Structure 1
Amino acid sequence: MLAGILEHIAKQRETVIDLQRTLVSIPAIGPDNGGQGERVKTDAMIAWMESIGITGIREYRAPDTRVPCGHRPSVAAIIPGEDESRTFWVISHLDVVPPGDLELWTSDPFELKIEDETLVGRGVEDNHQGVVSSLLVAKAIMELGAKPPVNFGILLVADEENGSKYGLDYLLKNHKDMFGPKDLFLIPDFGVPSSEMVEIAEKSMLWLKITVIGKQCHASSPEEGVNTLVASSAMILRLTRLHDRFPAVNPLFKPSNSTFQPTKKEANVENVNTIPGRDVFYVDCRVLPQYELDDVLEAIYEMGREICSTYGVEMRYDVVQKEQAAPATPVEAEIVGRMVDAVRAVYGGNPTPKGVGGGTVGAYLRRAGFDAVVWATWVPNAHQPNERSQIKHNIGDAQVMARALFAGGS
């Protein structure tokens, strides 16, 4: 049975292209990033699953008045297995980030471009590749009339790119009965080109907005104002000392240390000859699990007090996202063993359980007491201009999913 499934998947190049073309053409951007949500893309995927004969598709709607339809949809489809008390879930997300600076793209980010065996477009890797791979497995099962050892579950969630409040986090809080204690969970939402990283742990994550308040004035008379750009720059440089305050390393993770990076900077003044009286920037912190995020915040506040005293400004802090690390999935967990064996069988190499700094929906599952693995074969180039995905990885990852699903079967 498995051999037939793998052979069927191997022949699905055109299906990969057709699905990716559809997915890329629908910019499912969340309202936090100025978009209208996942409704249209969800409808397209429901229609596709129905077209291959999947029945009993369930939709879950998280209320959100910021989008036209008033909700953020997630959709689940289960193909029954021999043991219907267990489900092997593949969880992907339908939302994407905005394209960013269009001048950096060589093509329309929302029109699929094919370069030999490479697909280009917003979302082709993050997370369309995971969506497509899971659908290839479903298509093979349905068209061959196969029955896996356990249920095969496809879950396409909303809002992953902005914290999952309207996605998997919502489902775990409001629909706890959709998952069983013996279920298996794969999230194809992070990976390395070698396929060898089998992610079982994540760092704590803190996103902080820092607003610096001073006094605006004409640039020719700086003594009449308080320059917040200077103070912000000093604060950004001061934040590099966080690496000294929290110096631990853990070889499970890559990178093995905590990271503290200034990222987004909001515009201040529009003209060159005005000293800004307000500056806003953001800091992205990925912290090893042994440290408490409250301790990191206190260290930042302490540095801020020093900068305020030196430069005569005020600082305000807004926590954009704060997630203390969830318990790691045990190395000996069943899903880890299945995935390590399946990756080795398809891609070779030495697949190894690892920890990462990037946050995924796996943390929500682990926090709820489920063992979850995050894995995919990525370039990676998520969130970058000219985002790319290899057709062979869409197919190969589907074969890994199938092997993990049919582990122990014939």
Structure 2
Amino acid sequence: METTISKKLLGEIESYRSDATKFLSNLISYEAIAPENGGKGEWEKANFIQAFLEKMGFDEIERYDAQDDRVPSKRRPNIVAKYFGENKEKTLWFVSHMDVVPPGALSLWKTNPFQAFIEDEKIYGRGTEDNGQAIVSSIFALKALVDLKIKPKFNVALAVVSDEETGSKYGIEHLIKSGLFKKEDLVVVPDAGNEEGSAIEVAEKSILWLKFSVTGKQTHASTPNKGINASLLGMKLGIEVYEMLKLKYNYYDNLFDPPLSTFEPTKKETNVENINTIPGRDVFYFDCRILPSYNVDEVLSSIRKFCSFYEQIYPVEVRVEEVARSEAPPPTSATSEVVQRLKQSIKLVKGIEARVVGIGGGTCAAHFRKSGIQAAVWMTSDSTAHQPNEYCKLSNLVNDAKVFSLMPII
């Protein structure tokens, strides 16, 4: 790679700072929430992104929409944009997602979560870091290559997908099944990282989401002796399941952060509307992130056996249902080409040595690894995803684009 070319490329991206900030601000206004979470999907956001891409001079722009009758558009959009390189048989992919999680309690936000707010070189709003930063940094990385007419060593492409937050069936899974990707392709998923930008994720934990339904007997709160308090016994069950899992599955793997399996009670459904009724049914959920060294079926079997034992002690019926499951695929090799190119680009832009890590969060990379395609997850991130007052640092937005731009030319 010629030093002159790299300096031109990095300078060009720096000149995009204002345009990139404006583009991300506009993205935030689209409430691209999945139907599972009460939203209408990503259709309008996708059309906005595609209109921008069509002005950039890509060699190919295509849509791979997936049928979904639950949303008004009846389709979940997926955009693919490609810039041809010297070798047209191989492609470096940057995969980002359009969907966002709901904002949660609005009282916890400084401002409207779907109206971008800039303060202290940070842009606030739902979806700024997860995954707006990735969408914008990857787009502007390619824009610099196109604008400067720099021919990469191989194709460089964007896959901007739907449905990452709720399973990827209508997003990256749909694209992989279409045969779009090749075994020799390189994949970067900018969907996790640390503040320094020194962590390249090559492995993910298995994911298991469970629904627990506890059935007792409803009665007036003044006569608890006439009922069976499903809320009380549901809370007790949740705590005891949590403690059992922590004790039984306590292996540490320092590749991951955190280095152990996690079993967290999260969502809880409304049991009764009024205070003076003892509920006869209680429903709560667990989010389990399980180290690859453990078998998910064995963990689930332990939970079911424990609940059966619980039913023998307390006069309730307990039902355990799988909501979602994703088995951890084999990790990406630390010596793979995608990891090595990332490391070199990070060193050139940031002057630091990146290291490989594992994470508990699920990303699109897991789907590629299951298909035998080497994928690396990387971004510079303060890890504010899914939090109130989520933000993206503008410096991260620009510097990540610089890293991405160098990968296909080094």
Structure 2 residue corresponding to 1:86, chosen from 66, 90, 95:
90
Alpha-carbon deviation of 1:307? 2.1
Deviation at 1:310, TM superposition (A): 2.1
Match of 2:224 among 222, 225, 230: 222
| 1:292 counterpart = 2:295 | yes
| Match among 105, 112, 125 for residue 108 of structure 1 | 112
1:245 — aligned with what? 248
Deviation at 1:119, TM superposition (A): 0.2
- CA displacement at 1:311 relative to structure 2: 2.0
Counterparts in 2 of 1:254-269, with a 5 A limit? 254-269=257-272
Contact 2:96 2:191 in 1 (8 A): yes
Cα distance between partner residues in 2 of 1:309 and 1:380? 43
| In structure 1, C-alpha distance between the alignment counterparts of 2:212 and 2:9, rounded to whole Å | 52
Residue in 2 that maps onto 1:154: 158
Distance 1:310 1:346 in 2: 61
Residue number in structure 1 paired with 2:345? 342
Kept after mapping to 2: 8 A contact 1:235/1:303: no
TM-score normalised over the length of structure 2:
0.97
TM-superposed deviation, 1:22: 1.4
124, 139, 145: which one aligns with 2:143 = 139
* CA deviation vs aligned residue, 1:287-339 (integer Å, no higher than 9, x gap): 11111111111111122122222221111122111111111001111111111
Q: Report what 1:34 is aligned to.
A: 38
2:374 maps to 371
- On the 8 A contact 1:41/1:94 being kept in 2, the answer is yes
Gaps of 5+ in 2: none
Report Cα offsets for 1:345-386 as digits up to 9, x if no partner: 222333101111111110000000000000100101001111
Q: Distance in 1 between matches of 2:397 and 2:347?
A: 16
How far has the Cα of 1:55 moved from its partner? Answer: 4.3
**Unpaired segments ≥5 residues, structure 1:** none
**Partner of 2:138: helix, strand, or coil?**
helix
Note if 1:231 corresponds to 2:216.
no
Identity of matched residues, %: 42
Q: Deviations over 1:21-46 (max 9, x none)?
A: 11101111110111111111110111
- 2:395 corresponding residue in structure 1: 392
Pairing of 1:164-313 with structure 2 (within 5 A): 164-173=168-177, 175-176=178-179, 178-239=180-241, 240-313=243-316
Secondary structure of residue in 2 paired with 1:77: strand
| 1:323 corresponds to 2:326 | yes
Structure 1 runs of 4+ aligned residues shifted over 6 Å read none
What is the distance in 2 between the residues matched to 1:137 and 1:156?
Answer: 14
User: What is the TM-score of this pair, normalised by structure 1?
Assistant: 0.97
Corresponding residue of 1:51? 55
Q: Could you say what secondary structure the match of 1:152 adopts?
A: strand
Aligned length: 405
Deviates more, 1:299-308 or 1:147-156: 299-308
Q: Which amino acid aligns with 1:222?
A: P
The answer to whether the 8 Å contact 1:293/1:324 transfers is yes
* 2: CA distance, partners of 1:306 / 1:79: 59
Cα distance in 1 for partners of 2:208, 2:399 equals 34
2:73 is the alignment partner of 1:66: no
1:117 matched to which residue of 2? Answer: 121
